[in-house]
Each structure stands twice: as structure tokens, then as C-alpha cells.
Amino acid sequence: MPQGLIVKALSGYYYVKPDDTALDGTIQCRGRGIFKKKGITPLVGDRVVYTPTTNGEGTVDEILPRTSELIRPPIANAKLAVLLFSVREPDLNLQLLDKFLVHIEHAGLECLICLTKEDLLDEAEREQEGEMTKLVSEMYGKIGYKVIITSSLTGMGTEEVKACLAGEISVFSGQSGVGKSSLLNAMLPGLSLETSEISMRLGRGRHTTRHVELIELENGGYVADTPGFSQLDFLELGVEELSLCFREFQNFAEGCKFRGCSHLHEPGCKVRQAVDEGAITSSRYEHYVQFHEDMKEKKRRY
């Protein structure tokens, strides 16, 4: 039975790229009825067993075991999340960046942070914002995240980003209008993904990506150009799991006086002590407290 990779899902069809390199393009497939009965949905990124049919199409018969599964965006077997945040238009939003990082940590993916649109800065702004990007790079680098400064216009950082994507399925995400499609276009000349102008009134772009689709790179990697998000909620995450998604808390949390410490008000909390001593960045801790309150509020409502 032939196997392949689902590279696009649209209107009930799954487009499978065969493992057999002798076959060119993708095969349009329907899923077997048994999937619906079992409440299973094939996802982009799934490795599948399929059966070709006489009309040149096919049927997805089996979904092979997944290494990861994201609910939003719906994609399987992604290993790396590439988070794009612009230094200008829209301005850098560290609270939103931390919110994305919580979701990525919860999903168990590796993360690469790209700071985009460096080319939009003039000389004076570049000096001022340069300090900001340097500070952000150092802050998140110290936590253990890789940070690359990019420009789709000048090509800065694009080859470095591409090298990180080799041989893996990666998810591109971030605030709307930060240049996800522009960076992909810069890495893959001729791709011509639709890009959007930024709404100056709202400070964000309209979503140009309407479905999840894997874009193949020449280095064996696949990139999921996913719909942009203007906001994220925490409905899939338990409040007791939140601190586990702040990776710099872990070593300190082991020394807390109380097991299951929320790191908010308990005596003998080593995380709060680390914040006071500067070992944990105060902005990250403030965002943790805010997310904790948001989650508790949502829990009360639901």
C-alpha cells in the first residue's frame, strides 16, 4: 500500500504527496468513512496510507502515528514553531509573544523567534530600536529560545531561518500583518504568496492565509503557512499547567516550599525570589500573573 504526506486539506479533500518520487505532484483523496464514525480527522502533516482509485484520485485508508498534534492551527507532526513579530507596523508586543510561547510550550514544539521588518526603521530609529531588539534577543536567548532578526526586503536572516527548517515540518505563526508570507516569499523566490497592507488605524494586517498548506523547501523541510491570529485564548490549557510553560521557572520551582506552588502569593516561593533577584525577567513574570488571572476568569465564566 502506498504512503504519503497530506500537504493540503480543503473542502473535504486531502492532497497527498506520495513517498514514491517517481510520482509527480499530489493525489486528491477522500478520507474513509470509518474516520468520521470514529471521530478522527486527517490533518495536514499526517503521514498516511492511501489507495489510488481508477479516476486518478485516491482514498486515505490509515493515518500513521503522530509525533505532535496542534488544534489551532490543525496540523500534525510539526516539530518547530517559527514565531514572527515585527519591530514596527505593528510594534513589538512582548505580552502577545509570551502568550504564543505558552501555547508552543504546551504543544511540546521547539521554537524559533523571528523579529521582522528591520528594514522599516530609519537611521535614528534603527539605533533606538536596535537596543530594543538586542534586549529582546538577549532576554529570550537567555531563556533558551533562538532569536533571528530578519528583513524580507534586504534578505537579512532569511538563509539562517531556512537552515533551521531543514528536514522538518514547521509552523509559521505570529501576529497578523508581521510579514509571514513576505518572509516565505523571500526564502522561496517565485512562491508569490498573497501579502497584505497594514491597517494604520488598527495597527494590524488582514489575514491573507485562509487554510493550512505545507510548502516544500528544497532542503527537505515543509513549512505550514497558517492563518494569522489576532488573539489566543487558554481554553485548551489548565491553570495548573501554566507555570510549566514558562521554561525559566522550572529550576527555581523545584525549590518552592509548597508543592504545586502557584508562584503568586505562597511563602517560600523561589520563583518570586528569582524575580526579585533579577534571575527571572520581571516582564515575563508580570505576563505570567496576567495570564493566570485571565485563565481563572475564563474558568469562572465557563
The distance of Cα 118 from the centroid of its chain, to the nearest Å, equals 21
> Distances from the Cα of 254 to the Cαs of 111, 223, 261, in angstroms?
24, 37, 10
At residue 270, the 3 state secondary structure works out as: helix
Q: Would you say 294 is a known binding-site residue?
A: no
| Nearest-angstrom CA–CA distance, 158 and 146 | 14
Q: CA torsion, points 114, 116, 118, 120, in degrees to nearest 10?
A: -170
Q: Would you say 268 is a known binding-site residue?
A: no
Q: Would you say 180 is a known binding-site residue?
A: yes
Q: Would you say 179 is a known binding-site residue?
A: yes
Q: Would you say 182 is a known binding-site residue?
A: yes
Q: Would you say 67 is a known binding-site residue?
A: no
Q: What angle do CA 143, 79, 17 make, to 5 degrees?
A: 160
Q: Would you say 269 is a known binding-site residue?
A: yes
| Nearest-angstrom CA–CA distance, 295 and 237 | 9
Q: Would you say 177 is a known binding-site residue?
A: yes
- If DSSP states are collapsed to H, E and C, what string results for 127-160? HHHHHHHHHHHHHHHHHCCEEEECCCCCCCCHHH
Q: Would you say 117 is a known binding-site residue?
A: yes
Q: Would you say 95 is a known binding-site residue?
A: no
Q: Would you say 11 is a known binding-site residue?
A: no
Q: Answer yes or no: are the C-beta atoms of 14 and 214 closer than 8 Å.
A: no
Q: Would you say 68 is a known binding-site residue?
A: no
Beta-strand pair 58-63/80-86: unpaired
Helix extents (H) in 108-242: 123-143, 158-164, 180-187
Q: CA torsion, points 166, 94, 130, 209, in degrees to nearest 10?
A: 50
Q: Would you say 118 is a known binding-site residue?
A: yes
Positive or negative: CA dihedral 53, 58, 61, 65:
positive
For residue 36, count other CB atoms closer than 10 A to its CB.
Answer: 10
Q: Answer yes or no: are the C-beta atoms of 148 and 114 closer than 8 Å.
A: yes
Feature table: binding site for GTP: 116-119, 174-182
Feature table: binding site for Zn(2+): 256, 261, 263, 269
Feature table: binding site: 116-119, 174-182, 256, 261, 263, 269
